[in-house]
């Protein structure tokens, strides 16, 4: 296999045996990134000199038999909402001064740096990560690896496209309403939104406790590897959880036998799911049953919480630009400017009512998981649509939340959720299955996803 086709786990094993070294892997990943960039637009910038410097240092550590950590020498990309020391974090916006100073790493980036990861560059995001597709006034449109006329999804679209096309096997993304899972589904890769606080975040997101940091990877094993590195407390995040109870990689082997799985194909008929998506997800659910899980169709007590989500999301956007002057506001994505205006008109009582609705939704999902270990849904009710649009043409939808009803509820509840690729539609566009567990049970999500990969239900 080409080096760009290997997973992070396979790369590390190759370094250990001396089959190849981090410099070779990094050169291959950088060449692939440069090759795909004109057609797909996954990157804001490549940091080739820095990457090769770190790769050479890693190769020397492997020669001495002293790797710095579990991902030493693995090429990694970072969504351009997360700070990376020495390089601008522009957040998809022309309002950010690239002059910096840029002297600090985000917690997840810092943990990867300590473990010897090789940073290839920063991936694209819509402005401040505000929507579920990836285009911005700064970097233009990020396109789907399977059809450049389609969207890669968002807001971690650059990260998903990079992983899908071999420009590094793993990437760090963020997820405030589905922003890891949506592009994972559209691009055919694995994406995990961990339990809120499991991966620390600094600076805090303008969207508050809706925003999670999580990996986009080739498979669940790579995500578990990354989680063992980045799921570590950081004093800068006051809401971060304590240490994880054990190794995520070590927990992969448990399988799904005996797990109680609720399969909700459409949230009780609330969501119109395209037939090709429904068929691919149902086939994968049958695979879970074949692996020994107890599966039954069951819907959570989940009235659509979109208005509560909008109040929290739009208010966060308004707070984000509150101190912007007229010139900065003129530079904003028009859609972002619109929701900022909507958020500014929400009152404190509106916001607290949304918090109350969120608390009640969390209570209902907590009770649901007393009966079921996992909830399975489609990640999205559709496959990738035209690039450069917030909503599909002719859909009549107003905002991106209209076509993401399976994802944003679990940002409100802070539960771990992942998207697993489980097939394609007749146009060859990927379909994603979503796995959801109770808060703090990231291990179950990863175990079930890994079982699907091991059984060949999810393409490796």
Q: Name the residues annotated as catalytic.
A: 79, 155, 179
Where helices occur in 115-199 by DSSP H, the ranges are 157-164, 181-187
CB atoms within 10 A of CB 45: 14
Helix (H, G, I), strand (E, B) or coil at 103: coil
Where helices occur in 165-305 by DSSP H, the ranges are 181-187, 220-230, 275-290
Under 8 Å CB-to-CB from 324, ≥6 apart: which residues?
95, 332
Going across the sheet that includes 294-297, the strands are: 43-46, 118-123, 75-79, 170-175, 212-217, 190-193, 417-424, 430-437, 374-378, 260-263, 294-297
Give backbone dihedrals phi and psi of 52, rounded to 5 degrees, phi first.
-70, -35
Can you read off the two tokens belonging to residue 380? 């999205």
Under 8 Å CB-to-CB from 225, ≥6 apart: which residues?
8, 9, 12, 70, 71, 170, 248, 249
> Are β-strands 118-123 and 190-193 bridged in parallel, bridged antiparallel, or unpaired?
unpaired
């Amino acid at each position: 296999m080409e080096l760009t086709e290997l997973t992070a786990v396979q790369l590390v094993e190759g370094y250990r045996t001396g089959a190849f070294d981090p410099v070779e892997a990094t050169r291959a990943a950088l060449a692939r990134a440069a090759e795909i960039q004109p057609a797909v637009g996954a990157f804001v910038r490549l940091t080739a000199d820095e990457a090769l410097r770190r790769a050479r240092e890693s190769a020397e550590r492997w020669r001495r038999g002293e790797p710095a950590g579990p991902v030493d020498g693995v090429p990694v990309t970072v969504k351009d909402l997360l700070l990376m020391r020495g390089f601008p974090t522009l957040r998809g916006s022309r309002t950010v001064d690239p002059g910096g100073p840029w002297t600090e790493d985000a917690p997840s980036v810092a943990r990867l740096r300590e473990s010897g990861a090789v940073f290839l560059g920063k991936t694209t995001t819509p402005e401040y990560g505000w929507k579920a597709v990836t285009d911005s006034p700064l970097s233009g449109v990020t396109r789907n690896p399977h059809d450049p006329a389609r969207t890669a999804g968002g807001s971690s679209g650059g990260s998903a496209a990079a992983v899908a096309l071999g420009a590094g096997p793993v990437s760090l993304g963020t997820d405030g309403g589905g922003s890891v899972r949506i592009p994972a589904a559209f691009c055919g890769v694995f994406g995990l939104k961990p339990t809120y606080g499991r991966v620390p975040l600094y600076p805090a997101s303008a969207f508050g406790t809706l925003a999670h940091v999580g990996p986009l990877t080739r498979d669940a094993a790579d995500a578990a590897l990354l989680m063992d590195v980045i799921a570590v407390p950081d004093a800068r995040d006051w809401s971060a959880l304590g240490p994880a109870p054990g190794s995520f990689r070590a927990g992969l082997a448990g399988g799904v036998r005996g797990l109680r799985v609720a399969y909700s194909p459409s949230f009780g008929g609330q969501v119109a799911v395209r037939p090709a998506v429904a068929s691919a997800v149902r086939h994968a659910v049958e695979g879970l049953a074949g692996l020994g899980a107890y599966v039954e169709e069951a819907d959570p007590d989940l009235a659509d919480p979109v208005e509560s989500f909008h109040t929290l999301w739009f208010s966060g956007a308004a707070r984000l630009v509150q101190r912007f002057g007229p010139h900065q506001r003129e530079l904003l994505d028009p859609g972002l400017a619109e929701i900022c205006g909507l958020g500014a008109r929400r009152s404190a009582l509106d916001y607290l009512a949304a918090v109350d609705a969120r608390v009640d939704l969390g209570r209902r999902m907590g009770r649901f998981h007393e009966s079921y270990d996992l909830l399975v849904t489609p990640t999205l009710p559709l496959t990738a649509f035209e690039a450069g649009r917030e909503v599909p043409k002719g859909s009549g939808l107003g905002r991106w939340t209209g076509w993401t009803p399976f994802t944003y509820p679990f940002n409100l509840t802070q539960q771990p959720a992942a998207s697993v690729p489980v097939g394609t539609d007749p146009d060859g566009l990927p379909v994603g299955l979503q796995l959801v567990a109770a808060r703090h049970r990231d291990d179950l999500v990863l175990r079930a996803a890994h079982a699907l990969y091991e059984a060949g239900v999810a393409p490796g």
